Each structure stands twice: as structure tokens, then as C-alpha cells.
Amino acid sequence: MGTDVRERAFKTLKKQNNRQLRFYLELCTRCGACSSGCHVSRAGGGSGLTPYYRADLLRRFSRRGFSISRLFRPLKEPSETIDQALEKMYQAAYTCTGCRRCMTCCPLGIDTTWITGVEKAVLAAVGMVPHELELLTETSIEKVNSLEIYRDLMREQIRNLEPRLRQLTGMPDAAIPMGVEGARMLYVALEGADNIIGPAVIFNLAGEDWTLSEFEASNYGYFLGDTGRAVKVAERIVREAVKLGVKEVVIAECGHAYRVMKHLYPAWSRQELPFQVKSVLEPWAAYIRDGRLKIKERINEPVTYHDPCQLGRNGGIYQEPREIIRAVVGDFRELQPNRDNNWCCGGGGGIIARGDLEQYQLDTGRMKVEQIIASGARIVVTPCGNCRLQLSRLNQGYNLGVEVLSVAELLGRALLLENGPKTAAGDGFELTA
Amino acid sequence: MSQAVCWIIGPAVYLAVGIFTSGLAWRLGRWFIVAPSPVRSGIFPRPTRGTRGFRVIADCLFFPQLIRSDLYLWAAAFLFHLSLLGVLLGHLHLLFRFPENLESWVSVASAPAGLALGAAWTLSAAYLLARRFTPSGRDVSQLSDYLILLLIMSIALTGISLKMFSPLDLGVYQVYLQNLLALRPHLPAPLLASPHQRLFAAHLLSVNLLLVCFPFSKLVHCFGSFITNWIRRG
């Protein structure tokens, strides 16, 4: 490494310099309140990884490069090399889930995740990124170039889902439309057939004018902390929506994808989007309100709801999922605390996709586990793919004996009890049967 | 009177105030010279337009977030800032005399109020200092955190001593301050003759040092917190 790394790191740091970062770096009074608000510090699984520590690494790093401290460098050479500093930053930045609960606990309102975001950008500039996340990001971006080949394959797969969809809905004309120009809504799904058929059932039953996006909602470029690549990933969907002329882009049950499209992309690209961005929970709650969905049977087991950080605290969707759940569930129990104070599940920030962090995931999920046990719920509903994966791992690792469902799965049970009997796996849209 | 004392309560005050104001201008200017990012990083639920300002002011004055995460820290920090405000307001009495009927009340209440506020300030600062010696406190502390708190305790203790034990009339200090403000650093004769001048110099030395440190330390949070809380509520 050496001068080249130093140069690229500080160039990126300079590029990331803005008023927010200055405040977040300079105002900390080091009171330590953030530690008590962080699920990692509280669970003790992160061995010293407090929000303060994660942020302070960048404070120390930036002092290496700028300002008055340069004058004193001959007197006080930093005790660690730049490689050591970057390595520490790598360990800290990519093990933060970015839930921003520490920000709600900080008396000054410092956004530690903003700082770890800059750390990630610096690390990305010198090529220190988790391999899995980079691979997933590159695959997403590459997809645009090989779209022609990929498109036919996907359409065929989707067509293969339709018989099952007709059986589930009992509607002979039920379909999963793709590439429909002038449709009201472009639905951006999560990858995987079971993530598509559930929402497809609901849209068909409600008679929605929709079309399925060719792209997946997830944005690993965002987890990478590389805004340039995150924009490229999100841009694919924006282009498609503009081409089709839809009024709404509706993001699947996914936390970060919603936040990126709704709140971050317009700021990053400095443009106003010519369509509305919604979480899929918004139209679904509206269907229930308007009586467009017939609830066949209410679910009587105790159900609780986990607010995904990127959807709740960072996205603003609190009401709709609760509306939907209350409509189909007899015994709904809130987790304590909930909403903007809800504990992170421990799977965010791309951590869930990293094989090397499995033990860390289990350890740092302890606050979540305690919360779920205290609620006494048998079913945990959450509209975020990362959260569901993490909660399922916690469920296994801690023997919680609960079911982890998406909102679509929960809704599917209430809508389809006659057509689609419950399976052992608890999947209301079981495909292989 | 020694030359050191004369220097501390005379020219050094101007020097300290000069460094304080120019340093602060530099520090605040540095913040605003860079453009803000267009990314809104507020926490949901967002307050309505009309209530955002009130929420921000409440956040800055009462920092309710700390109540939830660390009640003792909140109590100490709140008492610390409240007594600091009281002490600063009390020093206004050095600037002017109240109307005669009010003045008699104020002069009676002045000593016990000063003692109570000073004690609250010292004790809360002592708690804030003590918690920095616990294992978790040490993790988040830097040398400057300890030094600033020690400096503040030194200001408070010398201030209380002056309030309680100084044989000098309030008027002497009023004359001193008025001269200082009028840029005529002329030291009143009773002060020059008093054996308490060293105590007074110690008080002012601590204040001078704090003023010099202020713009370059975390103490600027008293300005910046309004903006960061504004961002959080947006």
C-alpha cells in the first residue's frame, strides 16, 4: 500500500466532506449514551464495538490528513500505520447494521451511521470491501447489459408461476403482467419466486392495474457504502418506470430498497422523480380500508410486528403494516420498545449476506430475542427480507419456536385459507405442492 | 500585588476574549463554508412544520433522549447546565444594580443562591468527571474531557470561595468589570490591597483558560446542537 492508498483515501474523504459530516464529527461530547442505545453494545457481542468507537475511528483518521494536526505530525507521528487504521475501520464500518437507533439516543442528534457511511466510502475507494457485497452489487449492475438474454428467461419463469397463481386465487384470468406500458403501478419485487407470487395473489384479488419490474428491489451498492454504484443499481428501476410511464413505483417488503428509492435516490441524483414511490404496504392497507380484499378468516395466534429500521425509523412506515395486521389478527401484541425505538434485528447493513459474520449475527440479536420472548407472540411479522432472514436464524439459534412471516404471507393466510391450506413450513403460498 | 495577578485580571482577559471570539468565528465559519448534503437524515416520525422548532428547542434544552438511555447522566447533565445558566445570570448583578426596593432582596438572596448554584454546578461536574473513570466511561473519554471538567470545577470552587469569603463589597467588582468593559483595565484600589486578590486571580485564570479552549473543543456543542437536532427532526 503506501502513498497511493493514502491519496485515494483522503481524496474520497474530502469529497464526502459536507456540513452534516462536520457537525457529526465535531460536536460529540463523548457522553456514551449511544452505547446504551446500540443493540451490538448492549448484547456485548461486538467486543467493544460501540457507536462512539465506530465514529471515532473516522475522527482520528481525518485528523491524519487535514488541518492543524499536519503541523504537529513531525512531533507526534500517529502510533498506527494507515493500513492498521483502515483495517480497524473495515472491522467497524461493515459490522454496523446502519439501524440508526444510536441517533435517537444521542442528546445532540449525531448520526453515527452517516459517519460509518463515509468510512465505507473511504474503504470502497481503496478496495477494502466485503467480497460478497461487491459481487452482489456488480451482478445487479451487470444485469442491465445482459438484459436481452435475461428477459426471456425471467418471463418464462414468471409464466410458470401463473397456473399456481390461478389455483390460489381461484381466478381464471389471474396473471403476472410484465412490461405493460401505461400501467398504474410498477411493482419491484424481491428476488425469488415465493417473493413474487404472494404479492401477485394480493394484487390480483384487489384488481390492481400493475406490472412487475424486471429488476430486483435490493440494492447492495447501498450496503457497500458506494453511492455511485448504489445510484446505478437504483437507476435501472427509475429508467424502467419512466419508459413504462407508471404513476407509482411500489417497492416490495424490503427496508433499505424503500428508503433508497424514496428518500436517498432523489437526494443523491438531485432530481425529482416523475412518479410516486411507495412501500407495497401502502396500497395493501388501502385495499383493506376500501374493502377490496375479503378477509376469510382471522388469525387467532398471538402475532407481533417487528419495525424494520429502514422502513420505520428511517423510512416513516409505521401505520400501514399495523393496519393490515389488526385487520387479520385477533391477538396483536406490540414489541417493547417499538416504532422508532425498536431494537434492530442485527441483520441490516448487508451483514446478513456475509458468511463470515454468522456468530456475530447470533450474538448481536440478543436484544431482539429478549423482546420477542417478552411479547409471548407465536408469529413474528416483518416486511423486510433481511430482517426475516435474521429473525429466522435467531429463531433457530435461540430455539424461539416462533414463525417468521412477511406481511404477504400473513395476509395470504387470512385470504386463502380455503384454497391454500396451511403447510408445515407455514408458507401460505407454498409453491412446490 | 504581584505582576502575575495584574496580568491575569487585566491584559490576559482581553487576550482570552480575543482568542475566544476569533476562534469561534473560525470554528463556526468552517462549518458553514462547506455545503450541506441534500440527503435528509431525519428520524421518523417527522414532526409537523409548525412543531419542528419547538421540538428542536425542547431537545436542546431538556435532551429527553438521555432520560431513556441513562437517567443519572441526564440528571447530572441537566443540573450541570441549569446551574451554569443560573451562575451566568447571577453574574449579571456585576453589571448593574437593581432598583432600590429589589436590590435589598437580591443582596440578601445573593449569597445563599450563589452557594447553592455553585455547589450544584460543582457536584454535577464532579459526577460527570467521576463517571469518566468507570470502565465504560474511560472507553469514551479523551484527555480533554477530564481537563475541561477540572477547569470548570476550578472556576466553580474559586467562584464559591469569592462569594462566601471575600470581604470586598460587590461594588468593587462592579467597578473592576466596568473598567474592563470600558477598555480601561484600571484595577480598583480595594482589590489591589485585598489579600483575596490571589483567589480572584485564580478564578479569572480558570475562566481565561476555558475561554481560550472553548472554540477548539467539544464545548461548541452549545451552538451546533441546535442544528444537529434540527436535522434529526426534519
Dist CA A183 CA A285 (whole Å): 20
CB contact under 8 A, B228 and A109: yes
Residue B103 pLDDT: 85
Please list, residue by residue across A158-179, b when 16 or more beta carbons sit within 10 angstroms of its beta carbon and e when fewer do: beebeebbeebbeeeebbbebe
Q: How many CB atoms lie within 10 A of CB B2?
A: 10
Of all residues in chain A, the percent with pLDDT exceeding 90 is 78
Give the closest-approach CA distance of B132 to chain A in angstroms: 9
Report angle CA A66, A72, A74 to the nearest 5 degrees: 110
**Cβ neighbours of residue B35 closer than 8 Å, sequence gap 6 or more:** A18, A19
Minimal Cα distance from B220: which residue of A? Answer: A27
A136: distance to nearest CA of chain B, Å?
A: 25
Q: In chain B, which among 14-43 make CB contacts under 8 A with chain A? A: 30-32, 34-41, 43
At residue A66, the pLDDT reads 60
Q: At which residue does the C-alpha cell 452482489 appear?
A: A136
**Residue A366: φ, ψ to 5°:** -60, -40
Average pLDDT estimate for A48-53: 91
Q: What is the C-alpha separation between B61 and B69, in angstroms, rounded?
A: 17
Query: Which of A15, A19, A111, A336 should one mutate to test binding to chain B, selecting the residue with the greatest count of B CBs within 10 A?
Result: A19
* Nearest CB partner across the interface for A33, out of B66, B227, B228: B66
Determine what percent of chain A falls in helix, strand and coil, rounding each to the nearest 5.
55, 10, 35
pLDDT in tens, B19-78: 999 999 999 999 999 999 999 999 999 999 899 999 999 999 999 999 988 999 999 999
Taking an 8 Å cut-off on Cβ atoms, the answer to whether A315 and B44 are in contact is: yes
Question: Which chain B residue has its CA at the smallest distance from A38's CA?
Answer: B69
Instruction: Please report residues of B whose CB lies closer than 8 A to that of A109.
Output: 59, 225, 228-229, 231-233
3-class SS of residue B182: coil
* Interatomic CA distance for residues B65 and A104, integer angstroms: 7
- Residue A101: C-alpha distances to residues A45, A312, A383, A432, B89 (Å): 17, 11, 18, 40, 37
Is A418's pLDDT higher than 90?
Answer: no
Contacts of B45 in chain A (CB under 8 A): 316, 318, 339-340
A13, A30, A31, best to mutate vs chain B, most B CBs in 10 Å:
A31
> Which range, A66-70, A242-246, A297-301, is most confident?
A242-246
What pLDDT digit, counting tens, does each position of B107-150 carry? Answer: 888 889 999 999 999 999 999 999 999 998 998 999 999 999 99
pLDDT of residue A431: 35
Amino acid code (one letter) for A41: S
Say if residues A379 and A301 touch (Cβ distance below 8 Å): yes
Strand-by-strand arrangement of the A299-305 sheet: A329-334, A299-305, A379-381, A403-405
Residues A51, A220: Cα–Cα separation, whole Å: 22
Asked if pLDDT for residue A423 goes beyond 50, the answer is no
A134: which 3 cell numbers? 461487491
DSSP class of residue B87? Answer: H
Which residue in chain B is spatially nearest to A48 when comparing CA positions? Answer: B139
**Exposure letters B148-157 (e unless 16+ CB within 10 A, then b):** bbebbbbbbb
B111 touches B164 (CB < 8 A): yes
Reply yes or no on whether the pLDDT at A47 is more than 90.
Answer: no
Cell reading at A141: 449492475
Nearest to A19 among B35, B137, B225 (CB): B35
Model's pTM, two decimal places? Answer: 0.92
- Radius of gyration (C-alpha) of chain B in whole angstroms: 20
% of chain A exceeding 70 in pLDDT: 92
Least confident of A274-288, A378-392, B16-30, B184-198: B184-198
Residue A156: in which H helix or E strand, if any? Answer: helix A147-169
Burial of B174 (0-12, 13-18, 19+ CB in 10 A): middle
Determine the distance in angstroms separating the CA of A12 from the nearest CA of chain B, rounded to an integer.
15
Span between the terminal Cα atoms of chain A, in Å:
55
What's the pLDDT band for A3 if we cut at 50, 70, 90? confident
Q: Grid coordinates in use for B118?
A: 455553585
Q: Verify whether the Cβ–Cβ distance B39 to A267 is below 8 Å.
A: yes
Distance between CA atoms of B194 and B208, rounded to whole angstroms?
21
How sure is the predictor about A71, in pLDDT bands with cuts at 50, 70 and 90? low
Give me the residue from A22, A109, A111 closest to B59, CB to CB: A109
- Residue A329 corresponds to which cell in the numbers above? 389478527
Q: DSSP assignment of A329-346, as one string? A: EEEEEE-SS-GGGPPP-S
- The band of A433, judged by pLDDT with boundaries at 50, 70 and 90, is very low
Per the structure block, which three cell numbers stand in for A12?
Answer: 474520497
Structure-model confidence comparison of residues A144 and A412, the more confident one? A412
> Cβ contact (<8 Å) for A108 and B39?
no
Strands A329-334 and A299-305 come out as parallel
Question: Are residues A8 and A312 in contact, defined by beta-carbon separation less than 8 angstroms?
Answer: no
| Residue A144: its H or E element | helix A131-145
Reply yes or no on whether the pLDDT at A179 is more than 70.
Answer: yes
The rounded distance, in Å, linking the Cα atoms of A40 and A44 is 6
- Confidence (pLDDT) at A194: 78
Q: Which of B35, B40, B59 is opposite residue A18, by nearest beta carbon?
A: B35
Query: If DSSP codes are grouped into helix, strand and coil, which group holds residue A21?
Result: helix
C-alpha R_g of chain A: 23
- Please give the pLDDT value at position A432: 31
Rounded to an integer, what distance in angstroms lies between the CA atom of residue A364 and that of residue A368?
Answer: 9
Contacts of B66 in chain A (CB under 8 A): 31, 33, 105, 107
Kind of pairing, strands A185-188 and A210-212?
A: parallel
Chain B environment of A20 (Cβ under 8 Å): 36-37, 39, 41, 231
CA–CA dist A333, A303 (Å, integer): 6
Q: A380: helix, coil or strand?
A: strand
Backbone dihedral angles phi then psi of residue B35, each to the nearest 5 degrees? -75, 150
Contact criterion met (CB < 8 Å) for A19 and B232: no
> Pick from B66, B136, B227: which is nearest to A23 by CB?
B227
Give the pLDDT confidence score for residue A428 in this predicted structure.
45
| B36/A20 CB distance under 8 A | yes
CA dist., res. B166 & res. B138, Å (int)? 38
The partner residue sitting opposite A52, judged by closest CB among B31, B140, B225, is: B140
Best of B27, B43, B46, B71 to disrupt the A interface (most A CBs within 10 Å) is B43
Confidence band of A424 (pLDDT split at 50, 70, 90): very low
A47 contacts on B by Cβ (under 8 Å):
none
Q: Write down the pLDDT at residue A191.
A: 86
Confidence of residue A64 (pLDDT cuts 50, 70, 90): confident
Residue-wise pLDDT tens digits, A229-266: 999 999 999 999 999 999 999 999 999 999 999 999 99
Q: Which of A21, A29, A33 sits opposite B69 (nearest CB)?
A: A33
Strands of the sheet with A276-279, listed across from one edge? A210-212, A185-188, A248-251, A276-279
Can you give the pLDDT at residue A16? 94
Chain A CB contacts of B227 below 8 Å: 23
Mean of all residue pLDDT scores within chain A = 90
Among the ranges given (A12-21, A43-52, B108-117, B148-157), the one the predictor scored with the smallest mean pLDDT: A43-52
DSSP-derived letter for residue B177 is H
Chain A interface includes B134 (CB < 8 A):
no
User: Residue B92 gets which letter from DSSP?
Assistant: G
**Nearest of B80, B44, B84, B40 to residue B63 by alpha carbon:** B80
> Shortest CB distance from A312 goes to which of B41, B44, B229?
B44
Residue of B nearest to A34 (CA): B69
- Residue A378 · residue A426 · CB < 8 Å: no
